[in-house]
Each structure stands twice: as structure tokens, then as C-alpha cells.
Structure 1
């Protein structure tokens, strides 16, 4: 046995190892047991490829786990999420969530050595099954990292017609924006949209007198000179504090009305955010 290969228990016995030899090598870490009945040979052996030794042939990684493999894991999950054909016999495996697919999985590709649903499929599946605020953050990140294009998301959402939560997914796909740079910024944008306010521009650049971009705001309404920022900093050093004060004073001197919100505002009183910005836009 050489390399980072995977072997079933039966394969090891068939290769001439005794049960005691398998057990002792597993305990010593020379032949780690990755999941029930599957062992790895080498330090690079991993759980996910081993898991697929126990799943139906048509299974594929999807949902939050698929999103993470594609590079937009905004909603990390302690469980491994896999998509299996409807009616497939799947063993109960601790830490593995099997989603029976009513809609066939297309465009399966190997990602990190395992079959994985397309980025658009993973994004839409998550967007229709989690909270709106979390779903938009994931869709924004999906576009930001270039995992797929907006048209890919729209096409995939159309394929999910009549599935649970697809209406939410379709609405949020149309709102997704690759310019968003963090989850809270995406959620803050959605609070304003859901309150019936105009969609703010993410990562809005404010130019100086000569038109050179000078300061970038999390969100803003350029025409009304209203800026919105999420303040997630727990500590500011003296130099950063000086910079921020200068920035705030410059923006105010140039007619910008800035408002800053924290996690308490976002998660406990979103109506305060909406009413504050509405008062600036409609004085």
C-alpha cells in the first residue's frame, strides 16, 4: 500500500492483514480509520473522500458544504451536507446530513477530490433554506469570489420552481451584489430594502474636489449624500482613531450625513436602522 489511498475493511483483510493488524495500525495512526469501515493510508487521507465510499454512487456534496468547497462558505456548518437521489438508501452517519434531491443534480464536478454540485446549485439550495439575512450574505459572497455569474444563479433558481423556499431564493438572487465585502454589510443592505427604502450602493467611493476617489463607504446614497457604515470594531488604536475622526469631519464638511450602526442595531433593532435612514432620505 502506497500513497494517500483509501481502503475498505474488507480490502485490507483481502490484502493479507489480520483484524488485529488493522486495529493496531489504526490505533498507531499508520492506518487511520476515517469513517466506519474505511481507512486511509498516508497523512493526506481525508474524511470527505472516505465518506463517499459509504454513499450511493450518485451522491454529491451540496448546500453549505458545497458552498464552502466552492469558496463562498459564509455559513459554515459543523455537519457535512450531501445530496442523494430521492429514495436512495443512505446509512446514518454522525455529522452527515443527507438531502434527498427532488431536482436532479446537474454539472457535478470534482472539487477537493469529491463530487460536488455546481456553485449555483449550492448557492440556491442554501438561499431557499436559511434565513433571508444569511441567504443574501452567502449569495453576495458567491458572486464576489467569482464562483458563478448572476445569470447562473437566476437560471438555477428557475429550475427550483415549486420547491420549498424558492420564492425567497429568486427574490434574493436579484438583489445579490458582488461589491459587498462582509456578511453584516449584506444584512444591513437587506434591512433597508425590506423596509421599502431605495437600494443603497455598496462600497461607494466619495471623491475629493478633483474627482479622485478618497473615501469608501460601506453603503450609501450618492445623490442624497447619505453614508451608512457597519461598526464592528471592538478596539481602535490611537492612530486609527485619529484617521477616523479626520475622515468623519471631512465627510461632514463636504455635505455627507453619516450614520453608523452596530451588531446590536442590526440584530436587535433593525427598525431603528430603517427609520434613521428614512428620516435622512425623506426629511
Structure 2
């Protein structure tokens, strides 16, 4: 079997077919099995393999981007590390342009023509142009559910290197408007700074919506002498109840599990009730999680309907 002729060294791993033809590569050569077409008009080295990740898909599409086009909506958030909506949601590749420029119209890409506005996208470490985080979050208001917006918003505004502030998110909604049902305003009202994981956020929402008091987030527990004991995901200092989400199905790391067990003992030694919420407690709307935390609060003196 005759091997395909070598491609010019100037061609990157993903390239425009027209670019290759300008270098003398024939249409017949572009159709050989060592190349595949990830999108119309493009060729990528290698045969078709497993479904690409979102980032891989964006990198493959990048050669088709016009100077005024950029990755937006959920694509821009996910490429920055934001948590995605839970299964069965499958994020798409969204590419936008501001009027009067044109968005892409091609299979596999969700194109958007946005309002006339100065673009402020920035390039990430791979050179991909990403929409501003606050703008991308607002754009997701039309395609994500309320809790997904809260989870992603808390990711943006939390951490030592927050990607946006709650004020920036509010300003974006104020300037560009909300979506039907005021979903973004509702999300902003329930967002809190300090959440460290999507599961922690979803647990807090379940507890508060069930009528339990609002917990403190990432609470530093200290002993009577002021020495640090542990940082709790969620805490009710008044009732000395700490709540933590543990997503492990089983103890994959015995050493870490033993360390965690000692930590739990240290928390209880401060006369705190430590409530661990596991994955199965969150099934069915989180009724089991609510029951566990409610029982702990009632045992500590809280009464439903009280402050």
C-alpha cells in the first residue's frame, strides 16, 4: 500500500484546507486516511479518534475563527474551569460575534450574533479567545437552569483568584438585562462568596430551601484558646453543628481516610456535632441530607420557624 506523501512542515496539526492547497497540497492528498475533517474546510492530522474534549474541540475549530469571533456562553466558562451542569447536559461549543459582524454558521458550532458592543474577550494559555467571565455568565442565563447558574457564579466570585466579583455580575445584568423569569436576578440573590465546590453549593441550597437556617461557609473552627482545629464546609456556630459534603463512594486512599477520621474526632472534641453528607444522601432532591442536618440542629436547640 502506498503511503501518503509528507505534508509541508509549515502546516500545524489543524489547518485550513485552502491553506494547504496554497502550499501545493492536492485535494486528493487532503482526502487520505491520515487526515480527518473536524469541521468544514479544516483538516487535522491523524485518523478520527475518540470524541474530543471541549477544549480539544475548540482547538480544532480555532483556525476557522475570524478576528472578531470568540468563544462565549458556557464554552468560555468551562474553558476557565467553571463547573458544568450535571448529567445529562452536554456542553456545546459556542462562538459569538457582536453586530454587525457575523457569527459562524457551521455544523457542530452554536453561533451567536450579540448586541452591538465593544468586545472584551481575552486569550487563554492556548491562544483561544474567551468571552469576559461576567458576560459569559449572563449569556448562560438563557441556556442553564437556576442552580447551574448559582454554582458557576459562586465559582467565579470565590477563591483567592476570583475571576469576577458579585458586583460585576450584577452590573452586567443591570446593563444588558435579565432573561425571562428573572433567572439571573434570582441566582444573584442566592449566591454566596466562599464556596469551594459545586456539591457544597448544591447542599447549601437544598438545606436553606428546606427551611433550615442559612449556614456559614468555610467556617474556621477554633478551640477555646483560639487555636485552629478545622475548616468546615458549612457551619452553624450558634448550634455548634458542622456540615460537610463527602463525595467519596469508598475510601480510595486509606491514609487520607485515616487522616480525615482523626479530623472528625478533633471537631467532635470541641463539642460540635459533625454531620457528613454522602452522595446517596443527596439523591431524590436531598431529603436524606435535610433530615440529617435538621435532626442535628433540633438536638442542639433549634426549632423550626425560629430565627
Normalising by structure 2, report the TM-score. 0.73
Report the count of equivalent residues: 274
The counterpart of 1:163, out of the listed 179, 185, 191, is 179
Relative distance call for 1:37 and 1:200 in structure 2 (3 A) is same
1:68 aligns with 2:78: yes
For the residues of structure 1 that align with 2:116 and 2:283, how far apart are their CA atoms?
34
For the residues of structure 1 that align with 2:63 and 2:12, how far apart are their CA atoms?
15
Structure 1 residues 73-121: Cα deviation after superposition (integer angstroms, max 9, x where no partner): 4449452122345795643313x22345357573122333233210111
Structure 1 residues 29-80: Cα deviation after superposition (integer angstroms, max 9, x where no partner): 5xx64422123589xxx75355355566643211221012223244494521
Q: Secondary structure at the match of 1:35?
A: coil
Moved more, 85-94 or 262-271: 85-94
Structure 1 stretches of 5 or more lacking a match? Answer: none
Normalising by structure 1, report the TM-score. 0.79
Shift of residue 8 of structure 1?
A: 3.1
The counterpart of 1:270, out of the listed 255, 280, 286, is 286
Partner of 2:150: 136
Contact 1:8-1:39 at 8 Å conserved across structures = yes
The counterpart of 2:106, out of the listed 71, 75, 92, is 92
Partner of 1:79: 92
Moved more, 220-229 or 78-87: 78-87
How big is the alpha-carbon RMSD for the aligned residues of Structure 1 and Structure 2? 3.3
1:107 aligns with 2:111: no
Contact 1:137-1:187 at 8 Å conserved across structures = yes
Write out the 4+ residue segments of structure 1 that deviate beyond 6 Å after TM superposition.
none
Q: Secondary structure at the match of 1:192?
A: helix
Partner of 2:30: 22
Relative distance call for 1:22 and 1:273 in structure 2 (3 A) is closer
Structure 2 stretches of 5 or more lacking a match? Answer: 1-7, 47-55
Contact 1:49-1:114 at 8 Å conserved across structures = yes
Q: Secondary structure at the match of 1:223?
A: coil
Contact 2:141-2:179 at 8 Å conserved across structures = no
Q: Secondary structure at the match of 1:137?
A: helix
